Amino acid sequence: MYSISREYAFCAAHRLEGHPKCGRLHGHNYVVTIALEGEPDSQGMILDYADLDKTVKPLIEAMDHRYLVSVSNYTAGDLYAAAAIYKGHAYVLWVEASTAECLAKMLALAVREGLTEHHPKATITTVIVTVQETPKSKATYREEVSE
C-alpha cells in the first residue's frame, strides 16, 4: 500500500457556540493535509498531484478569508454569521460545528466524492484529512473509499 499527501493552507474566522473561550469570534491560519492511500497506476502514481489540486483547491479557496458558519452558529442566531452571510463574507458549513474534527470529516467526504466522480479509475482506498488550527493542535479523519 502506498500513500501520497499534499498540504493546503487558508485563513478563516470561526466561533464555537457555547464554548467559554472559542465561543468568541477568532481566526486561524489553517493547514490542511490531504493524504491518499492506494495502489499506483500503470504510470506509477496513485493520483497526479495536479488532479488532486483540481478537487481540493476550489474547496480551500471557498473557505479562505471567510467566516466559517456552522449549523450551530446559524441556528443560535449568531449575529456575526448573519452579517457575514448577508455581505458574502461567510462560507456556510453544513456541519454541526466548525471544529477541526468536523472540518476534517467534511473535507474528506468532499475529496472522496470529487475523486470518485472525476477519477473513477484511480485505485484509492483511503482518504485521510488532517486539519491543523495551530502549530500544536490538529484533528484527523479517515474515510474508506468503497469500490
- Phi and psi at residue 69, in whole multiples of 5°? -100, 120
Confidence at residue 121, expressed as pLDDT on a 0 to 100 scale: 77
Sheet holding 66-69, edge to edge: 90-92, 66-69, 2-14, 26-39, 123-134, 137-144
Give me the number of domains the chain comprises: 1
- Kindly state the average pLDDT of the residues 102-111: 97
**Does residue 12 surpass a pLDDT of 80?**
yes
Beta bridge partners of 4: 36
Please indicate, yes or no, if residue 1 is contained in any of the structural domains: no
Please indicate, yes or no, if residue 27 is contained in any of the structural domains: yes
pLDDT digits (tens, 9 = 90+) for 22-34: 999 999 999 999 9
CA distance 141 to 33: 11
CATH number at residue 34: 3.30.479.10
Please indicate, yes or no, if residue 76 is contained in any of the structural domains: yes
Please indicate, yes or no, if residue 2 is contained in any of the structural domains: no
Q: How does residue 147 score in pLDDT terms, banded at 50, 70 and 90?
A: low
- The percentage of the chain sitting over the pLDDT mark of 70, rounded to a whole number, equals 99
Domain span at residue 12? Answer: 7-144
**Does residue 122 surpass a pLDDT of 80?**
no
Among the listed ranges 32-41, 54-63, 110-119, 133-142, which one has the minimum average pLDDT value? Answer: 110-119
Please indicate, yes or no, if residue 95 is contained in any of the structural domains: yes
Judge if pTM exceeds 0.85: yes
Q: Torsion over CA of 34, 38, 39 and 44, rounded to 10 degrees? A: 0
